[in-house]
Amino acid sequence: MSQRLVIITGLSGSGKSTAARVLEDQGFFVVDNLPLVMLPDFLRRAEEGLNAESDLAVVIDVRNRGFLVDHARIFQGLEEAGYQLDILFFEAADEVLQRRYSETRRSHPLAHSESVQAGVQRERQYLLRLRNAATRVIDSSNLTSRQLRDLVLSFLGEEREPLLIVNLESFGYRYGLPPAADLVFDVRFLPNPHYVEELRPLTGLDPVLRDYVLSQPTCREFRKHLDPLLAFLIPHYRAEGKSYLTLAIGCTGGRHRSVSIVEDLYGAFPDTQVLLRVNHRDIDKG
């Protein structure tokens, strides 16, 4: 057993959700608001194939009634089972938490009909033993979102580089631009397989059609320009702290040329420090 298990816990409003997103961006399988008593069963299911190779993170806090029941025994059992267990505890000053609740107009989960201050104080008492057992305590009072993100990354270890998720999306211009696209490339200049009778029914997922598109001299020339551009841009996006990037490739109908280019990029992306996801938005249209 070599899986890493990070317990994300702490005061409500102190940064747990941000930490969960950071870990998810780094390839962790993250579960939010899991009752502590269900944790061992969840991990057994993960071992059986749910996410057997992923590091795991679980957000556990006072939204779970009975949160602290037997937590020491459960955590000890997980360590004895071989998990690399870390407890990441978040907190903030009372006045900061009150301001955050005021800005979001949410009620504190332990405040009931009382003030936010009363809820925060009650929560501090409930979590004191867990705070004392934490691997690391992070006070988010004076941290920006970027600083909090960097602290979580440093907690994960210097060997773990920030991971950028790149969404490779093919689309057809006749159906409109993808609204979430960061970079858009129009490949309608490439020869159109639609006008080759035996290729028309196929899509870019079919090797025969994909080979036709990729073998065109204009396509090879396009990739000679595109790959160095992406190799230049991606590290700068990563250094700026960007977590998600959508790269959209468009052709007329979104079935032939754009799909072929996206599939080829997926197989040979010019940066290895990314997590690639593929979406062929319009492949079933037309």
CA separation for the pair 62, 109 (Å, rounded):
8
Residues 206 and 107 in one domain: no
Last-in-domain residue among 125, 156, 187? 156
Residues 145 and 186 in one domain: no
Residues 187 and 71 in one domain: no
Residues 108 and 173 in one domain: no
Residues 127 and 183 in one domain: no
In a domain, 57, yes or no: yes
CA separation for the pair 61, 44 (Å, rounded):
21
Instruction: Fill in the amino acid letter for 104.
Output: T
In a domain, 285, yes or no: no
In a domain, 110, yes or no: yes
Residue 13 has a pLDDT of 82
In a domain, 286, yes or no: no
CA separation for the pair 249, 60 (Å, rounded):
40
From the list 47, 41, 38, 39, the residue with the least C-alpha distance to 7 is: 39
In a domain, 199, yes or no: yes
Q: What is the DSSP string of 84-136?
A: EEEEEEEE--HHHHHHHHHHHTPPPTTTTTS-HHHHHHHHHHHHHHHHHT-SE
In a domain, 213, yes or no: yes
Residues 104 and 185 in one domain: no
Q: What is the pLDDT along the chain (286 residues), one digit of tens a residue?
A: 467 889 998 888 888 889 999 898 888 889 888 777 788 888 877 777 655 567 889 888 776 656 666 677 888 888 888 888 899 999 888 888 878 777 766 666 666 667 777 777 888 888 888 888 888 888 888 777 877 888 888 888 744 455 678 999 999 999 999 988 999 999 999 999 999 999 999 999 999 999 999 999 999 999 999 999 999 999 988 877 677 789 999 999 999 999 999 999 999 999 888 888 899 999 999 7
Residues 189 and 79 in one domain: no
Last-in-domain residue among 113, 139, 156? 156
Give this prediction's pTM.
0.56
Are the CB atoms for 241 and 149 separated by under 8 Å?
Answer: yes
Residues 179 and 206 in one domain: yes
Residue 284 has a pLDDT of 93
Residues 171 and 255 in one domain: yes
Handedness of CA 111, 116, 122, 128 (dihedral sign): positive
Residue 159 has a pLDDT of 45
Q: Which two tokens stand for residue 212?
A: 């036709």
Sequence-separated (6 or more) residues with CB below 8 Å from residue 198 = none
Residues 243 and 211 in one domain: yes
Residue 274 has a pLDDT of 85
CATH of the domain at 89: 3.40.50.300
Residues 15 and 121 in one domain: yes
Residues 171 and 99 in one domain: no
Last-in-domain residue among 156, 180, 204? 156
Domain count, the chain: 2
The whole domain housing 128 covers: 4-156
